[in-house]
A and B are shown apart, each in its own frame.
Chain A
Amino acid sequence: MAEIFLDRVTKRFGRVEALRELTLRVREGELLVLLGPSGCGKSTALRIVAGLEAPTSGGVWIGGRRVDGVEPGDRDLAFVFQTYALYPHKTVAENLAFPLRVRKVSREEEEARVREVAALLGIGELLGRRPRELSGGQRQRVALGRAIVRRPRAFLMDEPLSNLDARLRVEMRSEIRRLQQRLGTTTVYVTHDQVEAMTLGDRVAVLRQGRLQQVGTPRQVYELPANRFVAGFVGSPPMNLLRIHVERTGDGAVLHVGDQALPWPAGCGVGPPPPGPLELGFRPHSARLGSGPGLGPLRARVEEREYLGGAVLLHLDAGGQRITVERPPEAREQPGEGVLLYLSPRELVGFDVATGERVWPAG
């Protein structure tokens, strides 16, 4: 168990800048998810922590000690690969025992630990098989077991579930969560799947083009995205973004959306956004249709209706701007109909039109 600290880590591959000044603290015992689109540098960051790649500049600390130049094997970390990377010529038992064998752990202890881990993961029956005789889910369990058996200071996992089918992925997701909480081992988990990130992480770090966008609990990242990118990347369907203009009027404010003027509801407990142009963000499920309370009414027309089983998505045109709202499955609005929207002031965020950074609410 150890804290992991990346200090202004930059990594260049020739002309490609995979990471830029990444500063990140993974707290002792937490599960931190590195989330971002393909090619944003997640794997690179993880590989730098593991020592499989050296940073171009910046430093890495593990358990308070700087590890630059320390061999991966001497960092006392375990890495779980997307492709599992099981030794194909070794049996499951030999795969599990390998990190112990290399470290010259006594045979009795090796055997005890392999048995313990096999029981923990429910792979006791498979110990005599070779990797190619296992299903994807079983291989994944063995790969996890090989990481756990050594009792390392931290787990590093690079998209460990992305080769599994959807059902198994959900199953293994909760299993990883359960294991991590039980063992209390510091874990960095890389994924491009925001649902995985939200369900798994104590905290989520969002990366884009090698730059850290935001670190926070899943809730913070979801409710108060640091910028337009995070707002769009986290949550499905993504957060709606409306171009508005805010005008202060005496002690209140009016929000102009196209040719519509929405008065800021007095006494809603939230102050109005700052005056001037703004990109107003709200989640598809936070809009009410028909009647208040809230910010409204915003007139819109239903363009398209998508039935999802548990919900219905309505794609709307609000004065030329596309937005999406989520409705219960019994909702009856049909394409072509006009609707009135009311937005909950507490669930609104405002982004700077030019930079895309969140400017409201602060904090």
Chain B
Amino acid sequence: MRPAGADPHPAEALRRAEERLAWALLALPLVSVVGVVAFPLVYNLWTSLHEVRLGTLGGPAPFAGLANYVRAVTEPELWRAVAVTVAYALAGVALSVGLGLAAALAVNRPFRGRGVFRALFLFPYVAPAVSVAFVWRWLLDPVYGAVNWALQRAGAVEGPVAWLSTEPLAFATVVAFEGWRYFPFAMLFVLARLQAVPPELYEAARVDGAGPWQRFRHVTWPELRGMLALVFAVRFLWTVNKFDDVFLLTGGAAGTRIVPLWIYDTAFRLHDFGTAAAGSALLLALLLGAGIPLCRRWLP
């Protein structure tokens, strides 16, 4: 102990020490946020306001004003991509949430081998995107694919089907892939919520005379509704942003060019970095516009 009066403001000193500690603890996250989020964001905005082509990449580029934005929004391909993105995200997320709900209900009740099923169901979500996408491509390949072989053997189709390169099959396939790959995410959340439903509610409903469907409708569904909406919203925002799955499956061919792929093509095929950056900024604005109200709704 210091003698009393040695420090006229011990509380003030403590406060300052705590402040220093707080900055020290914040330093690493701050640096990484600036490096990974803020810098690219600012650089993207700068790019979107300049005429950045292959020749001017990395060097000084002429200021373009809003020309890039005008070019982007008058580009019909971008609007087509927006439509594809929204349809893809809605359908894919709906499918993954639906499958996740079904899977969660299936593995919620105890049965022999339930643990194996739960682990198996997680596989699509935890496996690397590149490997599962290539497995799908191989399975669906018109020439070597197992799916076409099996369908032809069964007499379900006349000749081989080009799942990933004909419209509208390719779109349906990427939606199916999204549903398959992300249903475990919904399943985990739904399962956690299901475990929290008081079992007496089901017992009360049984005694009241409710059958399985009525128990689902009057007990399970109202308990899950909020969680399902939240999972749907979060997955929707993530899917709108998603690049790798569709890129790996179709590369954007046959009516599957989503906005992130349009940006990619504009930047790295047409080398029009300014317009691509303007597209990115628009996508960001769209996501913020949709995301902020959603977060307000669910986060206290």
Contact = CB atoms under 8 A, between A and B. Distances in A.
Contacts of B223: 88-89
Interface residues of A, number: 24
Contact of B206 (A73, A86, A89, A146): A73
Nearest to B201: A85
Nearest to B211: A73
Interface string A61-78: 000000000011110011
A99 interface: yes
A98 interface: yes
B3 interface: no
Nearest to A84: B200
Nearest to B203: A52
A87 B208 CA distance: 12
On chain B, which size bracket covers the interface? Answer: 10 to 19
Interface of A is mostly: loop
B198 interface: yes
Contact of A73 (B201, B210, B222): B210
Interface in B198-244: 198, 200-201, 203-211, 214, 218-219, 222-223
Contact of B210 (A51, A79, A89, A102): A102
Contacts of B206: 51-52, 71-73
Interface in A82-109: 83, 85-90, 98-99, 102-103
B200 A83 contact: yes
Chain B binding surface, main DSSP class: helix
Contact of B209 (A50, A89, A103): A103
A79 B201 contact: no
B200 A72 contact: no
Given A88-B201, A102-B214, 15 more contacts: A52-B206, A71-B206, A72-B207, A73-B206, A73-B209, A73-B210, A74-B209, A77-B207, A81-B200, A83-B200, A87-B201, A87-B205, A87-B218, A102-B210, A146-B204
Interface of B: 198, 200-201, 203-211, 214, 218-219, 222-223
24 contacts: A50-B207, A51-B206, A51-B207, A52-B206, A72-B203, A72-B206, A73-B207, A74-B209, A77-B207, A79-B203, A79-B204, A81-B203, A85-B200, A85-B204, A87-B205, A87-B219, A87-B222, A88-B223, A89-B222, A98-B205, A102-B210, A103-B209, A146-B204, A150-B208
The 9 closest A-B pairs by CB, nearest first: A73-B209, A89-B222, A85-B200, A85-B204, A99-B208, A79-B207, A102-B209, A72-B206, A72-B207
